[in-house]
Structure 1
Amino acid sequence: MGRAPCCSKVGLHRGPWLPREDALLTKYIRDHGEGQWRSLPKRAGLLRCGKSCRLRWMNYLRPDIKRGNITPDEDDLIIRMHSLLGNRWSLIAGRIPGRTDNEIKNYWNTHLCKKLRNQGTDPNTHKKLPDDPAKESEKKKKKRSDKRKKKNRAESESERNRAESEKKILVYLPKPTRVTSLSSIPRTDSTLTLNSINSYSAAASTSKEKEKEVNLEGENQNDDNGFGFFGEMECSSVIPDHGTLEKVYEEYLQLLKVEENHDHDLDSFAESLLA
């Protein structure tokens, strides 16, 4: 069985109290005192519930109620009493004169709970709260971003050092040289190239070898005839024939033609480079 209701709540006033109702309630309590809240509204001539009359007197109309904001000393006292007694607001209000249990309860739920959570303590157990996972993730993200920034800075510094080192190493390219064609040089008998001299020396050596072969043939013939030393003298003083000179001259002309072709190739190659 539950507790019986204090009234039928039919035809009663609801909402804020009027000054006339406050005056009737205070006058009745001064004359008859507190208590008997169920029968008080009929005796005082009020169209209110007995519970509403009690709360109005205890929280607003009592003469010993302390008005104004709660001080920091009262905050500390409420926090210490709550850590010992919990949510027993009437006992806490009995230790703080002039404050009602309803006022302390409302002040706790609206201000002190937020204050303790911001300080990192649980308002129910008065112990330190564990780190918030959202805050931990933010911290990890900050650490990762700091590491990435450090890596990027190190990479940028290394790239700058490399660029500076590459700038310090100077490479000097060779200057272009102008090549003149050999055809512009006048060719005379005195100005012979090395190739022509070498070819002429080779032709001379071949002619000498031929002369030696001729001399050897002459010596063999003289030995057969029995001339001996006089035959050697005669063979050594023999002048080469006109045919051998013509052969040497023809070989010399062929070598000159080869050199002219070689010079023409060099001239064409130089002209392509200049172009």
Structure 2
Amino acid sequence: MGRSPCCEKGHTNKGAWTKEEDERLVAYIRSHGEGCWRSLPSAAGLLRCGKSCRLRWMNYLRPDLKRGNFTDDEDELIIRLHALLGNKWSLIAGQLPGRTDNEIKNYWNTHIKRKLLARGIDPHAHHRPQALHHVAAAALVPAPAAKPKPKPAESSDDGGRSSCSCSGSGSSAGEPRCPDLNLDLSVGPPDAPTSPPPPCLCHRAWEACGCQAG
């Protein structure tokens, strides 16, 4: 269900406001304030729509409206605010006292756009197209490939390895070149030499004789 219209369109005036209508609207608001725009036209004796009264007051009849051309400072402020807020003209107008959102929007489309284009700046993205083109071109250039590191030359000698001088001629390929030495040494008196058995008195071989030496 849509919103009901604020007034009957068949009984309202359209077109340019007359001086008498402006005076009635200003006198009523000065006496009673803005109030409800839906009921204001009938209370002020105007055959106008409430929206039409609001726009007429806000954009033309308010006593705090700033008349005249925009200054350079206002231009720069509008450009900075538009870069942050975009086409939110009511918020931009809130930062410029005495200027209306509709006035700022019209001024943007007719003057500031041309000023930005003359500077080489995109009025929608607020950047310089040429600078952006150079940045994009630099990003597309591939980085130089890293050169492979040279491999160290393999030497045929042992490269300082210690060689063993005790390699035997009969060692096989699977055996170590230097066999482990037995370092398990013990310290003690030498073993007594064994004396041969005494000769047999019967002049027989000792192994065959059963006699014992005296």
TM-score category by the smaller chain? 0.5 to 0.7
Q: Secondary structure at the match of 1:51?
A: helix
Q: Distance in 2 between matches of 1:115 and 1:129?
A: 15
CA apart distance, 1:35: 2.7
Task: Report the identity percentage.
Answer: 68
Match for residue 62 of structure 2? 62
Match for residue 116 of structure 1? 116
CA apart distance, 1:128: 1.6
Q: Secondary structure at the match of 1:69?
A: coil
Match for residue 3 of structure 1? 3
Instruction: Point out the structure with max Rg over C-alpha.
Output: 1
CA apart distance, 1:30: 0.8
Q: 1:4-41: CA deviations, max 9, x gaps? A: 22122103111111111001001111111113101111
Q: Distance in 1 between matches of 2:46 and 2:88?
A: 31
Query: Which ranges of structure 1 fall in alignment gaps of 5 or more residues?
Result: 132-275
Q: 1:144-187: CA deviations, max 9, x gaps? A: xxxxxxxxxxxxxxxxxxxxxxxxxxxxxxxxxxxxxxxxxxxx
User: Over aligned residues, Cα RMSD in angstroms?
Assistant: 1.4
Q: Distance in 1 between matches of 2:9 and 2:2?
A: 17
Q: 1:30-88: CA deviations, max 9, x gaps? A: 11111310111111000111000000000110000010000111000000011011111
CA apart distance, 1:121: 1.3
Greater fraction of residues in helix? 1
1:125 aligns with 2:125: yes
Q: Distance in 1 between matches of 2:75 and 2:105?
A: 12
1:46 aligns with 2:65: no
Match for residue 103 of structure 2? 103
Match for residue 82 of structure 1? 82
Q: What residue identity is the alignment partner of 1:63?
A: P
- Which structure 2 residues correspond to residues 12-31 of structure 1 after superposition, within 5 A? 12-31=12-31
Q: Secondary structure at the match of 1:82?
A: helix
Q: Distance in 1 between matches of 2:129 and 2:37?
A: 44
Query: TM-score with structure 2 length normalisation?
Result: 0.59
Q: 1:71-127: CA deviations, max 9, x gaps? A: 111000000011011111111111111111111011001111122122221111101
Query: Which ranges of structure 2 fall in alignment gaps of 5 or more residues?
Result: 132-214
Match for residue 260 of structure 1? none
Q: Secondary structure at the match of 2:10?
A: coil
Query: TM-score with structure 1 length normalisation?
Result: 0.46
- Larger relative CO (CA 8 A, sep 6+): 1 or 2? 1
**Bigger shift: residues 121-130 or 69-78:** 121-130
Count the aligned residue pairs: 131
Match for residue 93 of structure 2? 93
CA apart distance, 1:130: 5.2
Q: Distance in 2 between matches of 1:111 and 1:25?
A: 32
